[in-house]
Amino acid sequence: MLKTSFHSFHAEHNARFVDFAGWEMPIMYGSILEEHKQVRASGGLFDVSHMGRLKISGRHARRFLERALTRRISDMAVLTCRYALVCNEQGGVKDDVIVYRFDDHWLLVVNASNRSKIIEHFKAITGELLVKIEDQTESTAMVALQGPKVMEMVGKFSKEVPTLKKYAFCIKNLRDSENDHQSNGVHR
């Protein structure tokens, strides 16, 4: 079973784990009711590292994504993101995704249970296009901050993040005890 970068932290803090799409994920620490109240009243941090992260690059990356997604992405500004669907040839939904526009590549966040299926689908529809599809899921981590006071809390570390518009993101360098600088994307 796959484990996120935060697994040892979860275990040290007595998390209860469940199998989610092949990942051993924390479902709760103590009382699920107390955790729910905390997030609704203030905020909480969730390990969502099991979500698939696919880097799309190459000469025809934009054209490939225009083919693969239901939303136009050619008009996206750098450091913005957009909700889209990945459909099969008959129009049935394979997954819903968030696509992020970087300067030189794109990043798709896909549902954990669909990651392999989406990668295979993308390989099948690449055709003649020069595109690289890199699965970064197991080499990166992802967290979600949720709750009414989260932006206020994050504002203590970054003045830029609370001012982000919806479906925008920024790249921040945050310090931790193991790395001098860790590059982090922050999305609102």
Give the pLDDT mean for 12-32: 94
- Indicate if the pLDDT at residue 188 is higher than 80: no
> Looking at residue 156, what is its pLDDT?
84
User: Average pLDDT, whole number, for the chain?
Assistant: 91
**Structure confidence by residue, pLDDT tens digits, 31-40:** 999 999 999 9
Q: Sorting pLDDT into bands at 50, 70 and 90, what band is 162?
A: confident
HSE-up of 39 (CA within 13 Å, CB side)? 12
**Structure confidence by residue, pLDDT tens digits, 106-124:** 999 999 999 999 999 999 9
What percent of the chain has pLDDT above 90?
78
pTM (predicted TM-score) = 0.89
Q: b vs e for 15-31, b when ≥16 Cβ sit within 10 Å of the residue's Cβ?
A: bebeeeeebbbbeeeee
Inter-axis angle of helices 115-125 and 61-68, nearest 10: 110
Give the pLDDT mean for 147-174: 85
Instruction: List, in sequence order, the alpha helices (H) in 42-114.
Output: 61-68
Query: 43-188, which class in CATH?
Result: alpha beta
Give the pLDDT mean for 43-71: 97
